Amino acid sequence: MIRYAVLGSGSSGNAYVFSDGADSIIVDNGFSRAELIRRCDAAGADWDTVRAVFVTHMHPDHCRGVGTLARKDGFPVFISAVAGKLCTPELARMAVPGGQLNTIDEGEERPVGGFRVRCFYTSHDSSGSVGYRIDHKQGCFCIVTDTGCFDERMVGAALESDVLFLESNYEPRMLKSGPYPPPLKKRIDGRFGHLSNEQAKDFLVRCGFYRDPGTDIQGQLCYNQPDCRVRRVYLVHLSSTNNSVELLRSRYSSLGDRLYVCPKGEMACGVLGGQ
């Protein structure tokens, strides 16, 4: 059985944990060490089993707490090969001790205990940003966040996962009429920004979620594709200013508990596989 959790998502801090009881991996840490340990504990992941930290990209809400973990706990840290080449100032700030910083590139696989981790590049304004696919004999997870658009590689990784963590950052009309200054609006809905609710929905359709013509008037999606492996979707990295948890929950109500909307900053825990 794998215990997994969104330990937090959105601009206040991002982190995920995946644990099979013997080994655990963390993806991103935008929290203090104490807060991350508290959240792992609440998710049922034993801190003593944490073996490695994987980083999606160098924005502070994803990596501000990574250096501390490397220095205090001695965890190896993995960043993408491109980030390793291009993010010199960010890496200097992160201050991972020599020898503990590792890279992973598309097409490579990093084994950690019973987990096998692969990455795919995303389209974001942080050099070498990636999403991750995490395989285990008990099941497969995929994280697709912080990307202004998606492509076949991301869809391909998601299609093979049992649990998908997908960014659904903003509702386009709320961003448009909202309080953000124009350059920030442009950044968010640009090619190197974030996935909108519409893009996330298109992504789910590509993953085999069926757009039922009978219910599409309300924008509802159904789950009746026999070849769709994704059993559970977590919509994450929601903006609290330009999005609405209630709106998304009602829009996806036909999916029942197959889809969970994670409010910014909050945890969401789950289990996958048998004993």
- Which is nearer to Zn ion, 9 or 68 (by Cβ)? 9
- Which is nearer to Zn ion, 124 or 136 (by Cβ)? 124
3-class DSSP state of 219:
coil
Binding part of the chain for Zn ion, among 35-43, 59-67, 88-96, 150-158 by CB under 5 A, reads 59-67
Residue nearest Zn ion (C-beta atom): 59
Binding part of the chain for Zn ion, among 78-86, 105-113, 145-153, 259-267 by CB under 5 A, reads 145-153
Q: Does 146 bind Zn ion (CB under 5 A)?
A: yes
* Shortest distance in whole angstroms from residue 169 CB to Zn ion: 8
Q: Does 90 bind Zn ion (CB under 5 A)?
A: no
First to last CA, the chain: 5
3-class DSSP state of 2:
strand
Q: Does 28 bind Zn ion (CB under 5 A)?
A: no
Which helix or strand (DSSP H or E) is residue 62 part of?
helix 60-63
> Which residues are paired to 210 by β-bridges?
222
Binding part of the chain for Zn ion, among 35-43, 57-65, 88-96, 247-255 by CB under 5 A, reads 57-65
Which helix or strand (DSSP H or E) is residue 17 part of?
strand 15-19
Contacts with 156 (C-beta within 8 Å, 6 or more apart), sequence order:
none
- Which is nearer to Zn ion, 59 or 264 (by Cβ)? 59
Residues found in the chain: 275
Residue 181: exposed, middle, or buried by beta-carbon count in 10 A (0-12, 13-18, 19+)?
exposed
Q: Does 59 bind Zn ion (CB under 5 A)?
A: yes
Binding part of the chain for Zn ion, among 35-43, 113-121, 139-147, 155-163 by CB under 5 A, reads 139-147
Cα atoms in the 13 Å half-sphere on the side-chain side of 247: 15
* Shortest distance in whole angstroms from residue 57 CB to Zn ion: 6
Contacts with Zn ion, residue ranges (CB under 5 A): 59, 146
